[in-house]
Chains A and B, each alone.
Chain A
């Protein structure tokens, strides 16, 4: 006699097993579509500002006009989508506050990108090179550069990126060492980066330090926020978007947050689905046993 229900539970498990070995190129295609659609049709959801980003904004707001602000763009093109929007937002804020901006980089392949962003944002804000901002360029050695700047900035960078003697630049007339810097932010994609600036810079030379980093590095820097070793952190594209919101200059980071939402949801769904299929194949073992 045939049973009323002929559905074999093993069919579901075979399906689960097949789904677990799905060709990864299908997942790639799914990711591509889910990333593309929100970029073409954005939702424009509001962005909540987290406390660690707010701290950096508030500190920048508290700086008096003419304060020296050092921005070290310690990243290369591989981290551009996350850190470039941060640098744009911070520079706009600094120039709006009429701070004296000192730009530099510790990463060799980021040199031209760092120069371009500082020069472009300065031009947009009508700032003059040498008087309102200086771009020092790149120097090798990471920690040694920071120590060297802490001891004697003119020896660390005898000329700026454009070949002008640093001792002759009007903006650097009263800036001889890192002790003359009021606030420094390192936007870093790894090492040398925020931690290097703290250990070899702030710890001895006493300037206030903030950080910006890729989302990969962010979890490791929370202990430094907790102790006040850095006074705030912009973490990843979300941190950049939050800062853009605070500064009132929505840019690439804000535009990317809807796609970020969509991709995160897709990953969560993939994880849940994979675990469901895994659970079913586990059931198969139990049925067979």
Chain B
């Protein structure tokens, strides 16, 4: 195994355990790891933006291919940064007007078509199916189609707050609430699945780094972090407030 992989494994393990120390309570190890994370991700973002945007989309097309009209978006981009100079901060409004105007205009017809019309079309399916073999009045698919129709309409009734929810409207909205509760329950179940997956993935890597070829990195560093936390707790000022 190469030295950089071994050193990398120890650093990755150490930083991971620093982050996990938050589970005990907020502490200097966690704060240190947190600030490194923000610093490195900001630096990484800046490097990628420089090479992927400034070099590949501006420098190369303008200077090497002669696309000088890209000076216009460059100027608009620089105007965005005028926000930092109070005297001329208003210039940034021109760039934001450009971005937001185009974004809003582009979005309207596409959202209407994709997320409204096609979704409504998908709701209005036949409940009773007629074919050469005859008419199928009660099918499981038909029941599901009916349930989806009832669910969509009742949920839309629930979210329509411009009229008072009384009488029939109230009863339909109550049906909508139950559909929403089922959906939120499903969302909770999937959220649990997602969060646990992240944990499983991380633990899998830490187990790998606990093996002899990585010098038992996880075990050694876990012991070191625990000792560090005990030492920190003993040395703390008792009046200092802690976020739990």
Contact = CB atoms under 8 A, between A and B. Distances in A.
Interface stretch (B80-88, B129-137, B194-202, B228-236): B194-202
A108 B49 contact: yes
A215 B190 contact: yes
Contacts of A263: 192, 196, 199-200
B219 to A, nearest CB: 13
Given A82-B198, A227-B122, A256-B204, A109 B44 contact: yes
Interface residues of A, number: 54
A35 B198 contact: no
Contacts of B201: 80-82, 237, 252, 256
B57 interface: yes
A25 B65 CA distance: 60
Nearest to A198: B114
Contacts of B194: 82, 214-216, 236
Interface residues of B, number: 45
What secondary structure prevails in chain A residues at the interface with B? helix
B61 interface: yes
B200 A237 contact: yes
B122 A226 contact: yes
Interface in B100-121: 103, 106-107, 110-111, 113-115, 118-119, 121
A199 B115 contact: yes
B53 interface: yes
A252 B204 contact: yes
B103 to A, nearest CB: 8
Interface in B168-193: 183, 186-187, 190-193
Contacts of A219: 183, 186-187, 190
A25 B90 CA distance: 50
Contact of A35 (B118, B148, B183, B200): B200
Interface of A: 25, 28, 31-32, 35-36, 39-40, 78-82, 108-109, 111, 137-140, 143, 147, 157-159, 163, 195, 198-200, 203-204, 214-216, 218-219, 223, 226-229, 235-238, 252, 255-256, 259-260, 263-264, 267
